[in-house]
Amino acid sequence: MAMRVGMGFDVHRFVDDPDRRLVLGGVVLEGERPLAGHSDADVVTHAVADALLGAAALGDLGRHFPDTGPAWRDADSLALLAEVVRLVSEEGWSVANVDCSVVLDAPRLAPHTAAMQARLGRLVGAPVSVKPKRAEGLGAIGRHEGIACWAVALIER
Ligand SMILES: [Zn+2]
């Protein structure tokens, strides 16, 4: 059996926009400050998709979903991840597991990680782990300017 590992990263800054909602791992966090982005700015789902593309050596998210076109404007990133899973499985790969570290000081993610893991896991067809991590006041994330996410994905065929 062949195995490949991929690393994904994404970062989005917070924005004050009453028309946007904070979406992380496909879960809407009502009443929380949203992130800026062309799509729904789901930084967790983007990092997972990026890791899967990387594992299959299929390039990065920007290549498949350019943020210049109208197709993915305000898009549900779960649809984007579903398309990435389709591309990866088209190459004969299946996902073994995904692990994410979400770096943010606020809001508290712990009450939502189970829902995120379930939603993402159903989409990729494998266990997905989501671990929140505080920036301890350091740098842009520590100043509450945005949220970053790292993800590692293992695929096999
Ligand atoms: Zn993104």
User: What is the predicted pLDDT for the residue at 83?
Assistant: 96
* CA dist., res. 100 & res. 51, Å (int): 10
pLDDT above 90 for 41: yes
Q: Where are the beta strands (DSSP E) in the chain?
A: 3-13, 22-24, 27-29, 94-103, 128-133, 146-156
Q: Kindly give the distance from the C-alpha atom of residue 73 to the centroid of ligand 1, in angstroms, as a whole number.
A: 12
Q: Kindly give the distance from the C-alpha atom of residue 155 to the centroid of ligand 1, in angstroms, as a whole number.
A: 22
Q: Kindly give the distance from the C-alpha atom of residue 38 to the centroid of ligand 1, in angstroms, as a whole number.
A: 8
What residues are neighbours of ligand 1 (ion), with CB under 5 Å?
10, 46
Please give the model's pTM, rounded to 2 decimal places: 0.96
Q: Kindly give the distance from the C-alpha atom of residue 85 to the centroid of ligand 1, in angstroms, as a whole number.
A: 17
pLDDT above 90 for 146: yes
* CA dist., res. 28 & res. 39, Å (int): 14
Looking at every residue in the chain, the average pLDDT score rounds to 95
Given phi > 0 = left and psi -120 to 50 = alpha, else beta, which region is 88? alpha
